[in-house]
Structure 1
Amino acid sequence: MKPLLSIKEGEVMVQTDHSTKKLLTNLELTIYPEDFIVVLGGNGAGKSTLFNVLSGNLRLTAGDIVYQDQSINHLSEEKRATFLSRVFQDPKMGTAPRLTVSENLLFSKKRGEKRRFKRRKIKDYQQEFYDVTKSLGNHLETHLDTPAGQLSGGQRQSLSLLMATIRRPDLLLLDEHTAALDPKTSEQLMAITNQKIQEDKLTCLMITHHMEDALKYGNRLLVLKEGEIVADFSEKEKENLEKKDLLSFFY
C-alpha cells in the first residue's frame, strides 16, 4: 500500500539558555491510508512535538515530511489545514464560543474556500447539521442555535470533532481530546470518535494517556520516549499486549 504521509530522519532541536535540546531524534514514521494510530508516551516524550511538526506549527530542524510523494516542509500551518485537521485537549480551543453550533459547523464546512461578502444561507444546511449532530447520540442536535460557549464540555468537544471531520481530512490529529472530560463523558466521546473514524474511513493519529483506550482502539500503537519511537505495534501484536506491557515503557 502506498503511504499517505511519512517523516524521514526527522529531528527537532531547540536552543535553551545554556544548551541545545533535541525534542525529536532521527524519527522515522510512515502513515498509510485508514491507519488509526494511537500514540503513547510520558511527559516530554515528544508526542505534542510530533503533532506540531505534522501540523506545521513547528518546523523540522533536519529531515523531511512527505505527503502524497511531495515534501511539505515548506508548507505553512494554514496550507496544511487544507488536508489536515486537529482536535485539541481543551474543548475551548476547537470552537468559536459566541457562534452557534450551526455557525461553527458552517465555518468549518467552508474552510479553505475563498471568502466573499455574501449571505451565509445557513438555513440551507440546517437539515444536514441536524442529521450529523443527531448521529452522535448526545443531544447536540437540540442545540443548533446555542452558542458553543454554553455547551457542556463533552458536547463542545464532540462539536470540535465534527468540525475537524466535516470536510473529511486526509489526516486527523486527536491531541488527548478526551483528557479534560470526566470518565463517563470521555468513554462516550471515544465511542463516537471510533465510530466516526471507521464509518468515514479516516486516517488518524491519537495521543492518549489512557492505557485501556490504547489497547482497545486503533490498528497501530506507537510508543515515544525521549523523542524517539521505541515501539510500533501492529494490530495483531496489540492483541497480545496487556496494560502492564505498556506501563513498562514508562519506567
Structure 2
Amino acid sequence: MNTSVPVQGNSNSLDFVNLDLLDFITPQPNQDKELLALLHFVPGLKEILMLRQVHALEHATVWLLSQPRSSRFISLLPRNFQVDNESLGGLSTEQGFFLYGDVNISDLRRAVTNGLQRLKDGEWNLAVHPRCGTNVSTSMLLTAGCAVGMHLIMPRGLIEQLFGLGIATTLAGELAPYVGALAQRYLTTSVPFNLSIESITKTRDMWGREAHFVKVQWQS
C-alpha cells in the first residue's frame, strides 16, 4: 500500500492522533507467522502480510528521518512530539519500499535499522502516519457515507440537502484522522516482527522517479 505521499514543503510539527488509548490489542511476534501457517492455502496471503509489515517500517523510517538531529533541541520537545518532513514520502510493496526525497543513504540506513528495532520494541505509534494514503481513502469513504446518510435523513428541499451535505462534510473531516489512524493501526500496517533488511539502493520507481529502495526479507 501506498504510503506517505511525497509533497514538497518545509518541516512542521504535527499533533497527530495519540494511540496510547488504542493499545487494547497487543501485537504478538508470532501472529503473522501463525496466521500464515494456519491459512497457508490462501493465495497471496504471505504477500499481504508482508506488505502490512513493510508499510509500518516505511512510516517509521519517514518519522525518524524527519526528527531534528540536535539532542539539545530534542530535550526541549514535549513527550510524544513528532515532526513531519513533508518533502519525504514513500511507497510500499511486498518486497520493500521506495523512499522519495533528498536523503543521505547513511541516514536512511540508520533510520530503517532504528525504525525496525523501535517498532519491535513496542513504539507502535511509529507505524501510523498522517499523510498515508489510507487516511485519504478513509476520508473519501466517510464523506460519501455521511453524505448518503444525510441525504436520506434530511428533507428533500434544496436548502435542507445543502445543509445536510455541509454537516456530512464537517463530520467526516472531524472523524477521518481518528478512523484513518485506526485503519492504519489494525488493517494496513503490522509490526514488522518477520522482516530483516536486505539492501538499500538508489534506483527509480516504475514511473521513473528517483528514489531509494529498501529491500527486505521475510524471516520465518
Q: Which has the higher strand share?
A: 1
Q: TM-score range by the shorter chain?
A: under 0.3
If the length of structure 2 is used for normalisation, what is the TM-score?
A: 0.25
